Amino acid sequence: MSVTFLNPGKSDEIYWVTATNSMAAAAGSLGIKLEVLYAERDHLKPLEFARQIAARPAAKRPDYVVLTNDYGMGPEVVRILDAASIKTFFAYSGITKPSERDIVGHPRQIHKHWLGSLEPMAEEAGYVTAGKLIERGRAEKWMAADGKLHLLAIAGDRATTTSYKRTEGMRRAVAEAKDVVLDQVVYGEWSRVKAQEQSVWLYQRYPQTRLVWTGSDLMAFGAMESWRARGGKPGLDAGFSAINTSSEALAALESGSLTALSGGHFIAGAFSLVMLYDYHHGKDFIKEGLELERSMFILFTPEEARRFEGMFGDMNFSRVDFKKFSKVLNPAVKKYNFSFRQLLENK
């Protein structure tokens, strides 16, 4: 069984390297031949990869291609590969926009080789990190002169489903709070440098703000750097939140400079391989649904951050036995459990 993963990130980007490493561990555990092609954040690269894969001799094509729908490139990649009779599966981000749905429909319909998708509940990550941030703001009494907490948000990008859903989760937490004002949302494009530059003028424009929500760890670090540059102390006179599990983010949570951290969703690719393994061996996942959106994120405590570092700080997931998640290899498994917490608790 062979799988090619079209990784949208950079080959030195901590999140996507972690995602790849966990997939490699799952592949090793299940006896899958895994090929990883990095798009290096070039949104046109997956199309180029798809054409190259489709042009390979039949014997050298993978059985399955796992891809993301970053920047809305997914529908065209599926079309190219489907024409070559190559099975595809979305992980991390799937089809959600009506304009995309009009093109590809639903799995196994217009494109019969598009098998399905598995997405982390990205909205959940935005919601829990914003909620923790607001909780801290109330405890520290970081209210402005109007008696309300003020929050700035640095989201990822405008095009990616994951970014949109994380931001919507943040907006839901703010709406429920009643005592929080969302001053402005900007898009940092997942960049530490850009978030640092944006936050400089955001702090000048909104001097009353003491809460900063971000859609990723790198953007949080950029916002924290500019806060320090103006004499502030992250975690002491302002709260910052982040998503992802880089060593720097985990250390920042442990030190207290980061108020809220959610992560674990990098495991979506590894669990996608479990689903494809079962499908390949005659156990279709159709009964659970073809387009799955499941809870994977956890809101880390400092103790859990230390445990994660102790277990996976080297980004080596080979100690995890992914065979135990397979329905084919474990008939007792009736429903997939995709939560990252079970790996952290080593159950």
Q: What is the rounded distance in angstroms from the CA atom of residue 220 to the CA atom of residue 218?
A: 5
Which distant-in-sequence residues (6+ apart) come within 8 Å of 103 by Cβ?
Answer: 75, 79
- Among 270, 330, 333, smallest CA distance to 20 is for 270
pLDDT in tens, 76-135: 999 999 999 999 999 998 888 888 888 899 999 999 999 999 999 999 999 999 999 999
Domain 2-120+265-344 has CATH 3.40.50.2300: yes
pLDDT tens per residue across span 329-338: 999 999 999 9
| pLDDT tens for each residue of 254-292 | 999 999 999 999 999 999 999 999 999 999 999 999 999
What local confidence, expressed as pLDDT, does residue 27 receive?
98
For residues 188 and 224, give the distance between their C-alpha atoms in angstroms, rounded to a whole number.
Answer: 14
Closest CA to 170 of 127, 225, 136, 139: 127
* pLDDT confidence of residue 102: 86
Nearest-Å Rg of the Cα atoms of the chain is 21
Do the beta carbons of residue 243 and residue 129 sit within 8 Å?
yes
Please determine, looking at this structure, whether the domain spanning 123-263 carries the CATH number 3.30.2020.10.
Answer: no
Measured CA to CA, the distance from residue 89 to residue 276 in angstroms comes to 8
Fold matches, 2-120+265-344 and 123-263 = yes
* pLDDT bracket for residue 346 (50, 70, 90): low
Over range 41-57, report the average pLDDT.
96
Q: What is the DSSP letter of 163?
A: H
Which residues share a beta bridge with 35? 4
Close Cβ partners of 342 (under 8 Å, ≥ 6 residues apart):
none
CA distance 230 to 277: 52
The span from the CA of 249 to the CA of 221, in Å, is: 8
26-40 pLDDT, tens digit each: 999 999 999 999 999
pLDDT of the residue at 72: 82
Determine the Cα–Cα distance for residues 295 and 305; give it in Å rounded to an integer: 19
- Among 274, 240, 235, smallest CA distance to 256 is for 235
Q: What is the pLDDT of residue 280?
A: 98
In a 13 Å sphere around the CA of 145, the CA atoms on its Cβ side amount to 3
Q: Domain boundaries in the chain?
A: 2-120+265-344, 123-263
Out of 17-31, 146-160, 219-233, 311-325, which region has the weakest mean confidence (pLDDT)? Answer: 311-325
CA distance 27 to 10: 21
